Amino acid sequence: MSLKPIIDDIANQADSFLDGVTTRSDARAAISEQLTIRYRTLSGIDRSKIIDGVLAILDEEGFFNFGAGGESDDADTSDDE
């Protein structure tokens, strides 16, 4: 069984179920939850591969490069001092 369609499906839905998530560990838990809800017959090995695949896509898209509120993690918080 090819896992690519499942990886793509979960990654395509990530914006909705990862709203407000800023850390990889929280994202990993949320992705795992989605797999439990939508693909409960997957083996543990397949689940791990899918989670890693989705996280790789999110990394490639820069999902974790921004903090809460859409600001870059390295952005200055204020110019008014």
Q: In total, how many domains does the chain have?
A: 1
Residue 80 is assigned to a structural domain of this protein? no
- 20-65 pLDDT, tens per residue? 898 999 999 999 999 999 999 999 999 999 999 999 999 999 988 8
pLDDT tens per residue across span 61-79? 998 886 544 444 444 444 4
Q: Is residue 8, in this structure, part of any structural domain at all?
A: yes
Structural domain contains residue 12: yes
Whether 43 is in a domain gets the answer yes
DSSP per-residue letters across 5-44: HHHHHHHHHHHHHTTT--SHHHHHHHHHHHHHHH-TT--H
**Residue 73 domain-assigned (yes or no):** no
User: According to the model, what pLDDT value does residue 66 have?
Assistant: 64
Q: Regarding predicted confidence, which is higher, 80 or 39?
A: 39
Q: Would you say residue 81 lies in a domain? A: no
Q: Is there a domain that residue 71 lies in?
A: no
Residue 77 falls within a domain, yes or no? no
Print the domain residue range for 26. Answer: 4-65
